[in-house]
Structure 1
Amino acid sequence: MTYRVAELVADCLVAHGVDRAFGVPGESFLALLDALRDRNDFDLVTCRHEGSASLAAVADAKLTGRAGVVMTSRGPGAFNAALGLHVAAQEAIPLVMLVGQVDRPNLARDAVQEIDCGRSFDGVLKWSVRLNSADLVPEMMARAFAVAHAGTPGPVAIELPEDLLEDPAKGFVATANGAVRPEPGAAAIEQARALLRAAERPILLVGGECRTASFRQDLIAFSEKWNVPVVTMNKMQDQFPKSHQLWAGQFGFFTSQPHVKLLERADLVVAVGTRLGDLSSLGFAFPRQAEPRQPLVHVYPDPDAIGKRVRTDVAVVSGSHAFVSAMLAAPATARACAEWSSAAAAARTATHGWPQFGVPSADVFGHAVAAIAAHFRPDGIVTTDSGNFAGWVHRIFSLEPTARLLGSACGAMGSGVPSGLAASLRFPERQVVAFCGDGGFLMTGNELATAVARGANLTIVVSNNQSYGTIRSHQERAYPGRPYGTDLSNPDFAALARAFGATGFVIEDAERAPGTVAEAMTTKGPVVIEVRSDVRQTLDKSLAASR
């Protein structure tokens, strides 16, 4: 068989550790599909929509630490996949989009579905390249993966002209370039140590730049060594054990007043692995810039992400794990402050506490989530779509360091099912539970067909309150009693699940939640649990959280 550019591209993917891609097949990259067909070191997951394929690739990248890969055709396929590009850019996730392009003689001639990715996705992509000759394929593929990982990780696009994939590539070999992994200097570590030694009320903010199990273990040791409470960023609750005495909670879209008051009292902020965007800085108001200022130690591998919005006392251009490791190796003389630890614990309880008893029966979704959490395994994986319903998950679930949380940190709807699909394929032996709203499920829920085709052990929980509940809560704040455009007419989700070949369950009242959940959580294969809930419960809790 002739060794073509298609085989060379496949070899380049494998050389970069890629063993799985998600996509929708297109006639513009038939040769690449053919090159992948007989490989036993690569799995192509055929999805039902490029948007959900790109979201699944983002989730896979979070789980592996490697760049996720999505394959699309040009034009409509690439624009459908743009949702994943946006999420990857917002959440700093390495993502490579392979786009089947028109053949080279017809480029720049307005051929059917022709697209220039660099121009079309300017401001979202970190880099875009159009391959035009076999000899450049190894170099450009290696560069694409390096760019996706370097500095602030993000999305890149590689255009593959249809005719190029058929060109001979004999004599060319796949290569992989090393990614830059910056580490802190001795001076930066000493400055950080000095500030921590002097601080009486330090707080540690942890983002998602590093998601490895070893980092999490070292993070626990770091917090204990320096006696510093830990706040995790939005949808990153799994970065630090909820049961730990130094866990102070996680940021969300609506920060509670107890949390705000705690953060206002901090006399040192150490931000690790976060760019300090609007959600992790309370709308760019934290750390406080007015006097008395809150000193800031900011640790991130991209120098362009440090010092952009707030004054930074110690700028540490470093990966999160390298910084934590260096601080663990340095001598520590942290102060013991029982009052500050108690204040952090009180804020955590006020924000995230969930009563074991006394939850009203009208809160059907709360009872359902509590029942699911009781069956959740220590090494399980939970995914959440965007929506107020996720607040129940964050408050009720107590995640061990071995568990994983894949949430929609940037608020993109539709991520719940694709993320669950990616997790169930990556870890088929682990329990995977995907939480969705009715709106988000009907955006990407067709990937249930993919889960059925793969025999995935995936449990999907749909909060059916017949509303775009989050938007409805915003309406109630801005225009009380005047909802418009947010009501939904929904199908029978359990019946829909059965039509797909999955198993469907319905929970309509709190009393039956434990029994239905017990049966559903022991059912193999894809399962959908529809929880019919009252939108009023969502609104009441959302409005209360924002006060």
Structure 2
Amino acid sequence: MTRQQKNTRSPEGEKRMVKGSDLLHQFGRPIASDAKLNQIAARITAAKRPLLIFGAAASRAAASHLGLAADMAQFVIRTGIPFLATQMGKGTVSESSHLYMGTPALSEGEDVHEVIDKADLILPIGHDTTEKPPFIMRKGGQEVIHIAEQAPPVEPVYFPQFQLIGEIGHSLKALADRLEGKLPNAQALLYLRKPILERTAARATEDRFALRLVNDISEVMTPHDSILVLDNGQYKISVARNYQTNAPNTLLLDNALATMGAGLPSGIAAAMLNPLHRVMALCGDGGFLMTSQELETAVRLKLNLVIVILNNKDYGMISCKQASKDFKNFGTKFDNPDFVKLAESYHAKGTRVDPRDDLVPALEAAFEGGGVHVVEVATDYSDYKRGLTDKPRSRKAKPTTRLSDLG
């Protein structure tokens, strides 16, 4: 048989191939069965202290599935169960809700983990093992029901006893139909919210710089149509804990490989996809220098993007970890270029802000001026080191001071 004969197909064969190639497009996301929904609803109804945790996969799904964010918000409202959001799940449900309990930035040891410790049933919605787990499961601990579109890989720190696999919006609406008005213990953990907030306020001096930074950024970033992108560095944990988000994907960060240098490229992508939004990339000086050449890309694409560089001439996270182990500091210090002149050399704009001055006017001017604008802020993390290395019990609190209050 010749090559031509091998490749020749009958019209009937071609039709069968076309039909076969379309098979995958005939199937949607899986839908949880009524039997499974009834089983899970019974477990939730029997719980004495239930807790929801929205994760990265929930936030991703909300961005791609129209109406899913509303479905998740309605589930919280209809059941009345308090919730946490992981760093990558922030904004899935609005954090202005009175049922929002906080954002775990570590797996254990924070104030917000008191809520987890006291829960008898935890429902992670959209848990994703690519990010740091918000809590560590142990044998004999709380019951965990995994609600997602995909089954999780079983891990030493996450091995849910029950799973509800299917399209998240359908699962939550169907569960709410079964649970609404039938959960007398729904808000059993809510009493912890106020004392956690009070303890956080009392510990605000442990990460004063980050809290002031969050407050200043929050003044120029509106909750629903601004996007804050975080690079990976010493500031990230405190910003992720404390920056309030009210819509999915308005805080973007990488907790998988936590790659330094991701902030500026991610900010560029966000600005390209959302030209009418305010987009800010918050970067440490070490991370920014790893991809600083992408300023040329941002300028060439005529993007509107503000890049805030926290300049402390140090790989601060590594310095912190070395100090926490009582190691001598090694290899973390470096010198920086003039970031304003560097920005101008790429035909971007540049501003330097003294930390004793108010950052808000500089950020507002950068956004109003349009284009690519680098704002450099000299940074002192001395107040922050204890907050990272000692695993403080800390969670989101609305900051009350600004960078101008440094004195």
TM interval, shorter chain, is: 0.7 to 0.9
RMSD (Å) for aligned C-alpha atoms: 3.0
Aligned to 1:376: 221
Report whether the alignment pairs 1:500 with 2:346: yes
The answer as to whether partners of 2:93 and 2:248 remain within 8 angstroms in 1 is no
For residues 503-522 of structure 1, the aligned pairs below 5 Å read: 503-522=349-368
Aligned to 1:59: none
Report whether the alignment pairs 1:425 with 2:266: no
Aligned to 1:115: none
Aligned to 2:80: 227
Report whether the alignment pairs 1:313 with 2:156: no
* Per-residue Cα deviation, 1:149-170 (whole angstroms, up to 9, x for no partner): xxxxxxxxxxxxxxxxxxxxxx
How far does residue 264 in structure 1 lie from its aligned partner after superposition?
Answer: 1.0
Report whether the alignment pairs 1:262 with 2:112: no
Aligned to 2:379: 533
Opposite residue 62 of structure 2, the aligned amino acid is: R
Cα distance in structure 1, aligned partners of 2:253 and 2:310: 16
How far does residue 294 in structure 1 lie from its aligned partner after superposition?
Answer: 1.2
How far does residue 307 in structure 1 lie from its aligned partner after superposition?
Answer: 7.7
* Per-residue Cα deviation, 1:45-102 (whole angstroms, up to 9, x for no partner): xxxxxxxxxxxxxxxxxxxxxxxxxxxxxxxxxxxxxxxxxxxxxxxxxxxxxxxxxx
For residues 102-117 of structure 1, the aligned pairs below 5 Å read: none
Cα 1:278–1:424, aligned 2, differ >3 Å: closer, same or farther? closer
Aligned to 1:241: 94
For residues 453-472 of structure 1, the aligned pairs below 5 Å read: 453-472=300-319
The answer as to whether partners of 1:225 and 1:334 remain within 8 angstroms in 2 is no
Give SS of 1:182's match: coil
Opposite residue 382 of structure 1, the aligned amino acid is: L
Opposite residue 78 of structure 2, the aligned amino acid is: K
Cα 1:424–1:472, aligned 2, differ >3 Å: closer, same or farther? same
How far does residue 403 in structure 1 lie from its aligned partner after superposition?
Answer: 6.2
How far does residue 533 in structure 1 lie from its aligned partner after superposition?
Answer: 0.6
Give SS of 1:188's match: helix
Cα distance in structure 2, aligned partners of 1:524 and 1:270: 43
Unmatched tracts of structure 2, length 5 or more: 1-6, 10-17, 394-407
Cα distance in structure 1, aligned partners of 2:363 and 2:109: 30
Opposite residue 202 of structure 1, the aligned amino acid is: P
Unmatched tracts of structure 1, length 5 or more: 1-132, 136-170
Cα 1:354–1:247, aligned 2, differ >3 Å: closer, same or farther? farther
Cα distance in structure 2, aligned partners of 1:254 and 1:296: 16
Normalising by the residue count of structure 1, what TM-score does the alignment of the two structures yield? Answer: 0.61
Cα 1:191–1:176, aligned 2, differ >3 Å: closer, same or farther? closer
* Per-residue Cα deviation, 1:406-451 (whole angstroms, up to 9, x for no partner): 1112222121111110111111111101111111111122211111
How far does residue 475 in structure 1 lie from its aligned partner after superposition?
Answer: 0.8
Aligned residues: 367
Residue of 240, 243, 246 corresponding to 1:400: 246
Aligned to 2:335: 489
Cα 1:445–1:240, aligned 2, differ >3 Å: closer, same or farther? farther
Aligned to 1:443: 290
Normalising by the residue count of structure 2, what TM-score does the alignment of the two structures yield? Answer: 0.81
Opposite residue 100 of structure 2, the aligned amino acid is: W
Report whether the alignment pairs 1:479 with 2:332: no
Opposite residue 322 of structure 1, the aligned amino acid is: H
Q: Which has the higher contact order (CA 8 A, sep 6+)?
A: 2
* Per-residue Cα deviation, 1:211-252 (whole angstroms, up to 9, x for no partner): 336222221211122221111123321212121111111222
How far does residue 326 in structure 1 lie from its aligned partner after superposition?
Answer: 2.0
The answer as to whether partners of 1:203 and 1:228 remain within 8 angstroms in 2 is yes
Opposite residue 362 of structure 2, the aligned amino acid is: T
Aligned to 1:23: none
Residue of 184, 193, 205 corresponding to 1:335: 184
For residues 135-150 of structure 1, the aligned pairs below 5 Å read: none
The answer as to whether partners of 2:48 and 2:188 remain within 8 angstroms in 1 is no
Cα distance in structure 2, aligned partners of 1:494 and 1:395: 30
Give SS of 1:535's match: coil
Q: Percent identity?
A: 24
The answer as to whether partners of 1:206 and 1:233 remain within 8 angstroms in 2 is yes
Cα distance in structure 1, aligned partners of 2:350 and 2:254: 25
The answer as to whether partners of 2:278 and 2:367 remain within 8 angstroms in 1 is no
Report whether the alignment pairs 1:206 with 2:54: yes
